[in-house]
Amino acid sequence: MTTDDIEPALEAIQFFANSANSVRVFEALANGVTTSSALAERTGASRSTVARILDEGESRGWVQSEGSRYELTYMGDLMIEEFHTHLETVEGTQQLRDVVNHLPEPARKLDIRHLRDAKITTPSPEWPQAHFKRALELYQTGETYRGLTQVAPEIIVRTLADAVERGQLELEGVIEAAFIEELHGNPERAAPWHTFADQVWVYDGHIPVNMHLIDGRVVLWLGRTEGDRVREGEGLLESEHPDVVSWAESLYKEYKSEAEPLDPTTLPES
């Protein structure tokens, strides 16, 4: 793209980017035909500001009028829709600005706009275990759980086992075979796994994400990838956005379909 092509496009973006009132006026126009006085009342902008925006919109072919009534052209509708898409992408990136580089690879396929309302819990010098505490809260209060993981820290396994034993939690999960093999020589560590071993599937390969579905909520561990492992040191992301939940459910089913049920008899007794 040449400079001659870029400049008009940048000017069009600036029409919205430099004025929140322009965005509000076009959003209001997207709802249908209306008058400039109604637009001023609806947006809180002055009548002179609304008039200026409408005039410029008409000069660009984005707005058309008949008498005192205004409406968006097809081109104007496209412009505000595409600007919203860009704005939501930026909002999603800003929401994740401290952790976006720590999203596990599969999660980078998500539309970042769908993570604008995600809840992020990160460690801090004052509270280095904040994300683990939040995860335990979710496990302790959840009613349904599905996990897709490389590894399972002992404190999390014991928390889940306690909830299953109380009859509070319905659990199933898929985990890497390499981790299950580590339990074979450790009866104490394997003990809580007997509580739900018949609901665990073993995947003979690499799982590039540590993710849980709890009561329709996606809980995603954030961390650096070191070799074939995701080091869960950067925080926890939670999302209930339907598209994020759909992505997580699809990913879980994909790995489960290629996994084998865990044979409880292969786990050592304490």
Number of H helices, E strands in the chain: 10, 11
For residue 221, what is the enclosing H or E element? strand 217-226
- Average pLDDT of 212-241? 78
The model's pLDDT over 14-27, given as tens digits with 9 standing for 90+, comes to: 888 888 899 999 99
Q: Is the pLDDT of residue 224 over 90?
A: no
Same domain assignment for residues 239 and 205: yes
How far separated are the first and last CA of the chain, in Å rounded? Answer: 68
Rounded Cα–Cα distance for residues 37 and 186 (Å): 75
pLDDT of residue 230: 42
pLDDT of residue 228: 43
Rounded Cα–Cα distance for residues 240 and 138 (Å): 13
Least confident of 129-133, 137-141, 188-192: 129-133
Same domain assignment for residues 114 and 178: yes
Q: 118 lies in a domain?
A: yes
DSSP, collapsed to helix, strand or coil, labels residue 238 as: strand
Q: 11 lies in a domain?
A: yes
How many domains does the chain divide into?
2
Least confident of 41-45, 121-125, 146-150: 121-125
Assign 190 a pLDDT band (cuts: 50, 70, 90). very high
Same domain assignment for residues 217 and 140: yes
Least confident of 118-132, 181-195, 207-221, 239-253: 118-132
- Average pLDDT of 212-238? 76
pTM of the model: 0.71
Same domain assignment for residues 16 and 53: yes
Q: 138 lies in a domain?
A: yes
- Average pLDDT of 217-224? 86
Rounded Cα–Cα distance for residues 238 and 214 (Å): 10
The pLDDT mean for the chain works out to 88
Higher pLDDT, 180 or 270: 180
Share of the chain above pLDDT 90, in %: 59
Same domain assignment for residues 201 and 239: yes
pLDDT of residue 55: 94
Q: Which of 60, 89, 118 is the last residue of a domain?
A: 89
Domain that holds residue 82: 3-89
String of DSSP letters for 17-37 = HT-HHHHHHHHHHTT--EEHH
Rounded Cα–Cα distance for residues 220 and 157 (Å): 16
Same domain assignment for residues 112 and 243: yes
Rounded Cα–Cα distance for residues 214 and 204 (Å): 24
Same domain assignment for residues 151 and 261: yes
- Cβ 106 vs Cβ 209: under 8 Å: yes
- Average pLDDT of 168-189? 93
- Helices 20-29/36-43 angle, 10° precision: 120
pLDDT of residue 227: 47
Our measurement of the distance from residue 164's CA atom to the centroid of its chain's CA atoms, rounded to an integer in Å, reads 27
pLDDT of residue 19: 86
Q: 237 lies in a domain?
A: yes
**For the domain that residue 229 is a member of, what is the CATH number?**
3.30.870.10
154 phi-psi bin (left φ>0, alpha ψ -120 to 50, beta other):
alpha
* Highest mean pLDDT pick, 36-45, 108-117, 231-240: 36-45
Q: 94 lies in a domain?
A: no
